[in-house]
């Protein structure tokens, strides 16, 4: 009996302590993100694991695909509950980008609109505030990057994914 209780308690603590993504208000979303981490082998504090969670080219890695699926599902859960897609979507995108830039700065520092604190910490500088739009459709005017820029997914692909997810609702 004690071992069953201990196992259940440890499992619930592990879900709440996802080392990349902060907990969202949705149990299904948290479970999906935890499962996404299982798509990659080894220690998450290695470049090999980061490639699995972060590589988008030339082919999406398994962990990254799973993260994108979760991102879409979590965004729709949030939209249904709060009529907003920004809070959870942006938080997940920020968590993902913050992890990826730590291990893959060459790929992430110059390719994504990271927030100034993350850019300073891992890339040695901050974003310019010129207000120019990049290919993902983000603007640096607001100081808060959009989800498309942080996830490394082009805006058109994100729109297709969101449309496909909406069709499955």
Q: Position of tokens 């969670």?
A: 53
What is the pTM assigned to this prediction?
Answer: 0.65
What are residue 104's DSSP bridge partners? none
Question: What are the residue ranges spanned by the domains of the chain?
Answer: 43-127+139-169
Residue spans of beta strands (DSSP E) within the chain = none
Burial class (CB in 10 A: 0-12, 13-18, 19+), 80: exposed
Instruction: Per residue of the chain (169 residues), give pLDDT as tens.
Output: 444 333 333 333 333 458 899 999 999 999 999 999 999 999 999 999 999 999 987 788 999 999 999 999 999 999 888 867 688 999 999 899 999 999 999 888 887 778 888 888 888 875 543 333 333 333 333 333 344 444 444 443 444 444 544 444 4
């Amino acid at each position: 009996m004690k071992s069953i209780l201990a196992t259940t308690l440890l499992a619930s603590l592990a879900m709440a302590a996802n080392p990349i993504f902060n907990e969202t208000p949705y149990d299904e979303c948290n479970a999906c993100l935890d499962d996404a981490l299982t798509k990659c082998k080894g220690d998450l504090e290695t470049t090999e694991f980061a490639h699995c969670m972060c590589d988008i080219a030339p082919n999406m890695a398994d962990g990254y695909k799973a993260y994108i699926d979760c991102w879409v599902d979590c965004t729709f859960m949030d939209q249904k509950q709060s009529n907003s897609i920004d809070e959870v979507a942006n938080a997940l995108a920020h968590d993902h980008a913050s992890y990826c830039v730590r291990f893959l700065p060459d790929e992430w520092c110059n390719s994504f609109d990271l927030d100034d604190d993350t850019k300073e910490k891992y890339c040695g500088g901050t974003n310019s505030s010129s207000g120019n739009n990049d290919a993902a459709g983000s603007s640096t005017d607001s100081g808060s990057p959009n989800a498309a820029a942080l996830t490394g997914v082009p805006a058109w692909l994100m729109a297709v994914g969101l449309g496909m997810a909406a069709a499955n609702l």
